[in-house]
Amino acid sequence: MRITEVHIDGFGVWHDLQLGGISPSLTAFYGANEAGKTTLMQFLRSVLYGVSATRRSRYLPPVNGGRPGGTLQLSDNQQALTVARYADRDVDDLGLVTIIDEEGHSTGDRLLRDALAGIDEVTYENIFALGLGEIQRLGSLTDTQAAEWLYRLTSGLDRVSLYDVIQGLRKTRQNLLSSGKQNSLITDLLTQREVLRGEISQLAQQNRRWSQLAVRIEELDAEIVDQETEVTAAEHQARTVEIAVGLKENWRRRAKLTSQINQFSGAIQLPEDAASRLDSLNGKIEEHQREADILEGQRRQLKEETERLGINELLVKHASRIEALAEQRDWLISLDRQIGDLNGESQELQKRLTTEQERLATALGITRAGHLQEITNTEFESLHPLLDEVQAAQKKIDHETKELATLTENERSLKSRIESAIVAGEHHGLPMDLEEASDLVARLRRRMQVEQRLEQARSHELDLEQQSHELLEDQVLPLWMFGWTLAAVVLGMLLVGLWLWVPNNPLGSHGSLIALAGLASTIFMFVLKYFIEDSAADKLDACQRQMESLARQVEEAERDKKLLDSELPITDGSVVLRLQAAEKHLAELENVLPVEAQRKRAGHEVSSAEARLVQAKAQYDKALSTWQTKLVGLGFSEKLDPRRFVAVTERFSALGDLDERVKLRQEEIVARQREHATITRRIHDLAIEVDCVQSDDEGEVSTIDQLETLIAEHKKQLADIERREQLYERAQELKAEEGEHRQTIAGIRRRREALFQAADCEDEPAYRRLIEEQEQSQKLRSQRKRVTREIAAAIGTHAPEETFAELLATECIDQLDTLWEQYSNKLDETQTELKNLIDQRGALRQEQRALVEDRSLAERQLELSCLEKQLEDARQTWREHATVSRVLERVRHHYEANRQPETLSEATRYMSQLTGGEYRRVWTPIADDILLVENVAGESLTVDKLSRGTREQLFLSIRLAVVSTFAKRGVRLPMVLDDVLVNFDAIRAQRAAAVMKDFAEGGHQLLVFTCHEHMWQMFKNLDVDCRRLPSRTGISHEIIEDLPIEELAEEIAEEMEEPTPQPKKSRKRRRVKVQQVVAPEPVDFYDYPFVERIEEEVVRTPIAQPSSPIVEYTVPASETTYEWLIDAEEELHEERLYEHAYHDHLEPHRA
């Protein structure tokens, strides 16, 4: 299977990416860091194996939009497939895959599984995907770990390593049973079993006395149970009567409360929080209604702005028809010329026909009445449509005249409204033009901002002045600092004097060290004093420079203020009052703008109505002329009434060959006119539909002019369409938000109505009255519950309440005291008899307890049973592991004897090519689990003795050999390599590239990804398919072919060789850069399409930047054509950064 084409609709940073014509052998993809290489590789795996949860969280939804997913074009020796996978259903969706074969039939994923030859994603990643992460993992392992890992590759590494499984089974068997002195589970269990058997044989006999005692105790137990039953029954009856005596008062109180509660039993029961729930629903309704009204107002404003655009929707809708008619312009001119020629020829033949008819009428002596016989029925019927056209044209003239009068009156009323609004602003001396008024408001705002900036600068100046006074005081050393300095100096000098001039000083043998410490403290205090004074002086200088800079800023602000005052003479009131008046006037002018738009629209409608009236008159004149021409052509007077011809139905024969020729020419003329009329009608109909009819006072407008007018008007409307779309999208968003609030209000109201319906109330007052009644009922219920709880507490779990209801009935309540005395006497008798039986049983059990205290026999028997079970489980486990180990060992020996030599042979060939013949053989001993590499000298080296670069070459050789082995088994899948040559030097990288090319020419497809230009150039020199990934940000960068790296390196070296500044030897005043206070830029509050935006122009001195070479590069024909521009210094910086962070190129940063 090979990948021939990749198309990404949306995945990660990619959107609408198309990579076609991918080579079936080797293709090298180049892209800088964060260019999207890893995203492209993950997309290939997503299409083949589905979108996993990890890939979904990192790459979906797409950053730049598009439908999540894409397609791959796959091909092999038998067929070509198009695999499409899109994951846009839910978060757990792996992506719906669709397979389209060469014939265009759509099938499921069976063909994809066949193409993948049953290889799952884990196997694909372990065998056919090789990246920088595995190279780095190989480098991070120890020598022994690296050797074991490389050996496992030769024994197959699909999902689980066979080597690890065999080692695990072997270790488990040794823990179960060991032949040496090592402890094992089965041996320990056998020893414990023999010990338990000896102990059980000693405890096999029991005492016969225990059985006799057990029989007697069982008899006593039966008697005691019967007696206890009688005692319990007597106690229960006595206690029941006693409790009933105490419940008399509470029982009567509960009955009274129950009767009161029954008076409210007819009402519907409401929940306890009914009132709070109703208040909450009312509050939510008010809140959502307020939000919905605000959104509705905003949407109405957007709608009014859209209407002011004046877009001709009909013209935009029929844009394709206008373009189609424009293509028939030449054919329309040709039809005009053909109709003129045919008309001339027809007129000449018609004259001849008329002469022949007159000569024939004169010869036959036919009168005027007989002339009707010369008219055919068809010609007579042809007069009816012409008569209908004349009447329809007259009706249209009347209708257009009335509509024109109405529109003219509307335009006049709008003009008077605008004039009255503009005149009102002249009384305040403000400009009448909207642009001038906006300029005046902007300058007044700048004047206020300058005044605010001046106040801020003066406030900052006062703070700096206070700070300067504090710093000036800090120039003098503080008293406490002076005291510590003087004390340290005196103490240091005293210690030095004692050590120098006193022979027997009290400091002893450490006098020199103490004196040295005193001298060091003296020197330290002098140095500390120097640095403190120097720091205070520097701070004072910086503060003074800030004050000077701030004074300059104050002067500059004063100049700006005076300049603005000269431009804006303020005579009446302050700047704030003047600004308020100007803003109010500007708002009035803006309110006039919608009326002006309506006036313009009314003017356009008047013009259109006049044009339609002119067109209707022209149509009437044309229909009337056609009617008169038809009458004259038939030989009748044009003033004749056409209704006289209704009774004529006879048909007449033709006038002969001349008449046939005239008819033939007439048919040709009619055919040409029909074609011309069809096109003309389409143009005029379209003009009428889109309300874009061209008017001409001198006469009828030509069809060509009308067509050109339509095209010009269509182009004119295109400018406003984009703005309308933006307004429409915003209005849709507001409408959706408003709809959500409306739906929420409706839902809350339904919930409130449901509360009313559930309570059987018509409105809210009735519902609240029901709540008050329920509160009263609830109080009574609470009292009854309290009494009921007292009754239940008195009863407890003694008996159900129904039992006491029978005792507390009206007819039994007076006999409770007599019943209590009877049950008490009976209870005393049964308790005495029960006590005697219990004393007898206690004596017998005490004797039996002495016999049964020894339970050693049962414990040992239980331990023996558990031990036997453990021993049987251990034996079964050992047999299972032994069987599996024997089978896996046979599989391993079979693979090492048959398959591994083939893999190692392939790896030997690739290793020899990669190392230039330095290592000529890769092999493994049959009896050992190690991998050896033989060099040119014939020495076999283990993997742990190889260098890191050689291990990576061996790793690449084994991976290529494993892929080749899979290919021989019929599994040919594309192999993906991501920057696997990054740790190779130039010679090793060239050899590896050549090996990859040869490997690909052997029938394997390799997709190599790199972020290094020299790697890409190396593959390009090998004449393989090289691609550059397009810029995902929309800015194409060109790869420079000959980058002057050496010159840049020399420049950088020269810059680094500049002498470093020497340490300061004396105190020197330094200049500190003061950050100027920059006033905030004025905010523009206007955003109208008809008002020019007023912005303050800030002139800044441009900073000179070092120029960098920009080279335009033309991609060869063998590569995908993209345009790139790149900065050489930036590219060199990125290559240097890569040396410190290998992982930067693996994952693009997502916005």
pLDDT tens digit sequence for 564-621: 777 665 555 566 776 777 777 667 667 767 777 777 888 888 888 888 888 888 887 8
- Which among 944, 872, 1062, 1148 is positioned nearest to 185, based on CA atoms? 872
> b or e along 116-125 (b: 16 or more beta carbons within 10 Å of the residue's beta carbon)?
beebeeebbe
- For residue 153, is pLDDT > 70? no
- 3-state SS assignment for residue 625: helix
Residue 571 within a domain: no
Q: Which among 527, 555, 583 is the end of a domain?
A: 555
Edge to edge, what strands does the sheet with 129-131 contain? 129-131, 975-978, 1006-1010, 26-30, 1025-1028
Residue 1051 within a domain: no
The confidence band for 896, taking pLDDT boundaries of 50, 70 and 90, is low
- Cα-Cα-Cα-Cα dihedral of 35, 36, 41, 47, to 10°? -150
pLDDT confidence of residue 426: 58
Give the residue carrying structure tokens 């398919």: 1025
Q: What is the mean pLDDT of residues 214-221?
A: 83
Residue 576 within a domain: no
Listed ranges 351-360, 691-700, 791-800, 978-987; the one with the highest mean pLDDT: 978-987
Q: What is the mean pLDDT of residues 776-789?
A: 80
Q: Count CB-CB contacts under 10 A for residue 845.
A: 16
Residue 632 within a domain: no
- For residue 922, is pLDDT > 60? yes
pLDDT confidence of residue 1127: 40
Same domain, 1109 and 1010: yes
Q: How many domains does the chain have?
A: 3
Cβ-based neighbours of 506, under 8 Å, separated by 6 or more:
498
Same domain, 369 and 469: no
Q: Tokens for 700, please give them.
A: 């009828």
Residue 1036 within a domain: yes
pLDDT confidence of residue 28: 92
Q: What is the mean pLDDT of residues 136-141?
A: 67
Percent of the chain with pLDDT over 90: 3
Same domain, 341 and 481: no
Q: What is the mean pLDDT of residues 298-312?
A: 80
Same domain, 348 and 486: no
Same domain, 1028 and 1134: yes
Q: Tokens for 457, please give them.
A: 């600068």
Same domain, 11 and 110: yes
Same domain, 460 and 546: yes
pLDDT confidence of residue 894: 66
Range(s) of the domain holding residue 663 = 319-375+652-689
Q: Tokens for 703, please give them.
A: 């069809």
Residue 498 within a domain: yes
Percent of the chain with pLDDT over 70: 72
| Distance of alpha carbon 239 from alpha carbon 657, whole angstroms | 140
pLDDT in tens, 22-61: 998 999 999 888 888 889 888 888 988 888 888 888 888 8
> b or e along 361-394 (b: 16 or more beta carbons within 10 Å of the residue's beta carbon)?
beeeeeeeeeebebbbeeebeebeebeebbeebe
Phi/psi at 704 (5° precision): -65, -45
Same domain, 471 and 370: no
Cβ-based neighbours of 61, under 8 Å, separated by 6 or more:
10, 68
Position with higher pLDDT, 700 vs 1045: 700
pLDDT in tens, 632-673: 666 555 654 444 443 333 334 445 566 777 778 788 888 888
Question: Does the predicted model carry a pTM greater than 0.85?
Answer: no
Same domain, 345 and 484: no
**CATH code: domain of residue 58:** 3.40.50.300
Q: Tokens for 199, please give them.
A: 């102990």
pLDDT confidence of residue 71: 93
pLDDT confidence of residue 965: 80
Q: Which among 555, 578, 608 is the end of a domain?
A: 555
Q: Kindly report the length of the chain.
A: 1151
Q: What is the mean pLDDT of residues 489-494?
A: 77
Q: How far is CA 283 from the centre of its chain?
A: 35
Same domain, 356 and 453: no
Edge to edge, what strands does the sheet with 919-923 contain? 919-923, 932-935, 940-942
Q: Count CB-CB contacts under 10 A for residue 774.
A: 21
Residue 803 within a domain: no
Residue 478 within a domain: yes
